[in-house]
Copies of this chain bind each other. A is one copy, B any other.
């Protein structure tokens, strides 16, 4: 096999494809939401989830304010909405989710918004923050978890089609690339940014 050097600025792309979750939060009367793929479990018991996020994002400040957040899994049928959600800025909308026609309900444990339409959702309390380079790792304790019927002990992938993020590629303009895990790929040109 021929090997080649990969520039360090592109290292994160080796991790693709990654499931895109949607992080949700309410603070100071506004609802924030952002797709994220730098998100993994960090512990079984208590269940902790780690989310690495740049602190410049509006939603970062909102999570620090609320000390809580929701983590939501939307399936591949929502690719268009999730791409658009990744483009619009929290500073321009009092409710980013309604801007892409998603609705929320209030989490029982944290009073934070979770999406009404998802395949699964976690109610989380912020536990710890630690900075590494350009991003901050936000560690949350999962307080409660819900899922659609197509999760039993594991996801039933004959019913649940995951939304896998595979990057934003410059090819006749920027576009979101999502994979279904079933051999199909959605390429959606940016609507809001040039």
Contact = CB atoms under 8 A, between A and B. Distances in A.
Interface of A: 1-19, 37-50, 52, 73, 117, 120, 122, 127-128, 130, 132-135, 137, 139, 142, 144-149, 151, 153-155, 157, 162, 164, 166-167, 169-170, 177, 179, 181-183, 185
B47 A38 contact: no
Nearest to A52: B42
Contacts of A179: 157, 181
B43 A117 contact: no
B2 A132 contact: no
15 contacts: A1-B117, A4-B147, A4-B149, A5-B144, A6-B146, A7-B145, A9-B45, A11-B49, A13-B154, A15-B40, A41-B52, A44-B134, A50-B50, A155-B166, A181-B181
Contact of A40 (B52, B134, B183): B52
A5 B149 CA distance: 10
A133 B44 contact: yes
Contacts of A16: 19, 154-155, 162
A164 to B, nearest CB: 7
